[in-house]
Structure 1
Amino acid sequence: VPEAVAVEGEGFALTYGELEARSNRVARRLRALGVGVGSVVGVLLDRGPEFHAGLLGVWKAGAAFVPLDPAFPAGRLAGMLADAGAEVLLTQESYGDAVEGFAGRVVRVDGAGAAVVARESAEPLDIALDPEGLAYVIYTSGSTGRPKGVAVSHRGLANHLGWAARVLAGAGEGGGAVFSSVAFDLVVPNVWAPLLAGQRVVLLPQELDLSELGERLVAAGPFSFLKLTPGHLEVLSQQLSDEQARSLASVVVVAGEALHGSLAQRWVGLLGAGRLVNEYGPTEASVGTCVYPVPAGVGAGVVPIGAPLPGMVMRVLDEGMRVVPVGAVGELYVGGAGVARGYLGRGGLTAERFVPDPYGAAGSRLYRTGDVVRWLPSAVVEFL
């Protein structure tokens, strides 16, 4: 349905047909600059009409992208681009100062640059992508040292998005919304799952004040799903009436931090059992590892993180990598299709954190999360 709305935001709406044409033109412009399979492209764009076309264009050119947050200092942006080996930067005129030191080619998708891109053909390219190939590089916050570039494959991304499209977008018809930094993988399902289900993605403005979040979401909703942090959920608790909260989305997914029972109790009371979902997953495991649809009567402590998503494996092991019994404390190791390729350019750290799975098929790997957990008798994992 090419005339259906794919992406909308403040002052714009793009149909699926328009998004297809724009992304093909971006891809052809990138190809003309030498971008291809194995290339990495930095993407520094507002959440506006060029955002999805830019990201899709990188993939259609055969490359991987590094999503950059315009709020980051120029030095950090330059460091990430250099570390990732980005040859080209896709950006807009307003971020000229932020990219002054970039040594590669710069493609601007607005102003005079828009005319250059528009001259490219809108016909699709025929570029074969390897499922094991690189889809994107997302940098960790660097709170424990130099930021690390996590290299995520198309297979890992597709595994998670397949679930998100079926279960999250499939819970309704209203699509989803993006209102958090695109430089963190929490927003990945918000960006892509609605499109995989033929729904719409609502992009809230880059400079949105959190005091407006509830009002903006209510005006744009109702949604099939919303994925946000417990902090966002707390904000919405203060901004929305019970009726507004109840009708905001068919499913509300909480991730990024521990979810406490007191906050969960309020939202389960509004939404009903199972419509609030607690999700856990390190960036190194392609967005999400496990989920826990929160039941009625959840306790006051930290809400469990649940059971593995399709294609994922959770192992609770001791210091000798032996399986610990139900109820015993151990470290969480994550395996399955979502395990990332590793840390870009950091072989030693990759070997330390991504290890062979002694209980899996030949060649399978586990990511050591460093998180302390235990299995509960109910076959879900409790985060300690």
Structure 2
Amino acid sequence: MHEAHVGRVITADAQLSPEELAAIWFSIMCEPGDEFAGYIRHSLGVTSALNLVKAGNSGELVRQLFSVNAQDLGAARFGDLNRVASDALARWTPRLSASAMTQSHDWLKRSKSWLVTPESELWPENLNHLGWAAPAVLWGRGSPMALASTTHSLSVVGSRGATNYGSCVTGELITELRPFNISIVSGGAYGIDAAAHRAALSVGLNTIAVLAGGVDRLYPSGNHQLFDDIIANGVVISELPPGSSPTKWRFLQRNRLIAAIADATLVVEAGKRSGSISTANHATELGRPVGAIPGSITSTSSHGCNRLIQSGQAELIQDADDLLSLLGLHSQLSTLEVDSTDRLGPFEIRLLDALTTRPTDPTQVAQRAGLTMIEANVAFTQLNLSQLAVNSEKGWARSNAG
């Protein structure tokens, strides 16, 4: 990769390097999760690998893999390399059409979309943990910088037919994460996905929607306004080129990206055979922590979550503290709370307990705390001086340190 291209976002007017052009071709010709494609890109370099694919000689492709001593790793994973290489070329070659590349380039020109390659500094490093199954490129709409804002990130997945319980729990938990700048990753679907994205947007958290089709095929179409909001304030991404339709296989493979991008995965309402279980399984395979919201044993929407908890694959999540612990931030929060509250008096402690991160009328807060307004006003002043509470036109709320 040319040094000048490192870290950049590729748009329609960009002069592509050979490596970038080759990566786009792999995105066009391969289905998501094609490990053999990743294997030859990693072993031979993306440009050399593409040239060998275009030559259409599977025997020469295998000989080149031997020349770089990559045959043992490949044979251990795929078996007979000659057979696998021949099958791969048969799958890929029909998609090597100039019209496919033209269609992708035309979409970049017509829209404010872009793409990044693994060499870009904006590439989510967590995706590299997928190894040979990592995508060749990411197509995107929205802010490319949102991809780089995943220092702490949580994927939230669940049933498309979410109950009020599931939607409310999702919204409340994500709202409580606001002070910690957690990026929320999901799939843009109805139900829990939509609730997660909306909750993140409502409190100004970064959110990433990962699609199972091209970024020009915002699916489901009924969420068009939500997608518009995500594009305006976060980012929509796909490993597939524009024009690609979502399919069952692509949805299943999309789940691996949702699990890989984030530091942890939360499952909210999932049936026994839910796609959310697939996301949880991908997260487990990657060594990422998984959490699940428990539900009623009589609710089919919670069978999957309850089973994840019962088997020990997922941690039981009851509140935002549990989520922070899942993300490895719990000790940081506990230390903050002990250090900032150990000198408070009884009125201040009771008032702080009654506050949330949402601004609330001081009269209501005093009532919750069981204090008179005179007592509450003294306590509000002390909490404000201690930087544990903040006041606004809408009322009092816990500060980021509270």
TM, length-normalised to structure 2: 0.29
Q: Which protein has the bigger helix share?
A: 2
Higher radius of gyration, 1 or 2: 2
TM, length-normalised to structure 1: 0.30
